[in-house]
Amino acid sequence: MPLQPKTLAILGTEDHGKVAAEIAQQNGYEVYFFDAQYPQQKNCGHWQVVGNEQDLMEHGSSYDAIFIALSHNKIRDLKLTQFKKRGFNIATLISKDATVSPYSEIGQGVMIVANACINYGTKIGEGSIINTGANIDHGCTIDAFVHISPGVNLAAEVTVGNYCWIGIGSNLIHQINIGHTVIAGAGAVILNDVPPEVTVVGCPAHIVRRK
């Protein structure tokens, strides 16, 4: 008798959610979407939208797991925390085309996209996004609800604080510390520690905005 497919409920129909759905399918899930636009929105790419957030809160236990596919780091934290408190199983999605060391630590609700590489001893905090082709070298620590954009390169033993957004194509040298809630602009070359709650851009990266 054939096995029934695992079911995954995804909150959020933005393009980030579609990428999550594709990775979920690679990993054997049957995918259903939930979004605030339901019932006006009934489809998300190749998948059905079957309810809104409240529906998911009420019926999430009928799915094998749920995934929060919201790109805003702090909102993703808020929603993931709400669903964890309800006792739902939170999925972690890792593309079959990513390279992840078996000696790394990957938290709940993380998404690792195609061609990303996570090396030995690296820790990825819950709810973080490691996007297409990002390279995270050995011994790095990525805290919770971070977005590492496509093509980012982190050398060894870098620490990135909660809620950071490291922009596309950025490069970080080894053993530096990035404070929480930092935004690094596209292509930033970060050669020194960065304090919390600032925006840095350029080569070498410099602060252009403070919270």
Is the predicted pLDDT of residue 4 greater than 80, yes or no? no
Measured CA to CA, the distance from residue 204 to residue 59 in angstroms comes to: 49
Measured CA to CA, the distance from residue 16 to residue 111 in angstroms comes to: 10
Give residue 211's pLDDT: 83
Kindly report the average pLDDT of the chain as a whole number. 95
pLDDT band at 158 (very low <50, low <70, confident <90, very high): very high
Given a contact cutoff of 8 angstroms between Cβ atoms, the answer to whether 160 and 139 are in contact is no
Given a contact cutoff of 8 angstroms between Cβ atoms, the answer to whether 137 and 154 are in contact is yes
- pLDDT for 47-58, tens place per residue? 999 999 999 999
Return the percentage of the chain with pLDDT > 90, whole number. 93
For the chain, what are the domain ranges?
A: 6-91, 94-201
Cα dist from 17 to 30, 79, 85, 94, whole Å:
14, 14, 22, 14
Cα dist from 83 to 36, 66, 79, 90, whole Å:
16, 9, 6, 8
Given a contact cutoff of 8 angstroms between Cβ atoms, the answer to whether 25 and 95 are in contact is no
Could you tell me the pTM of the whole model?
Answer: 0.95
Burial class (CB in 10 A: 0-12, 13-18, 19+), 106: buried
Peptide bond into 2 cis (omega under 30): no
Q: What is the DSSP string of 97-148?
A: TSEE-TTSEE-TT-EE-TT-EE-TT-EE-TT-EE-TT-EE-TT-EE-TT-EE
Is the predicted pLDDT of residue 166 greater than 70, yes or no? yes
Give, in words, the CATH class of 6-91. alpha beta
State which H helix or E strand residue 170 sits in. Answer: none
- What mean pLDDT comes out for the span 60-85? 95
- pLDDT for 95-105, tens place per residue? 999 999 999 99
Q: Is 88 left (phi over 0), alpha (psi -120 to 50) or beta?
A: beta
Length of the chain: 211
The position carrying tokens 């919270």 is 211
Give, in words, the CATH class of 94-201. mainly beta
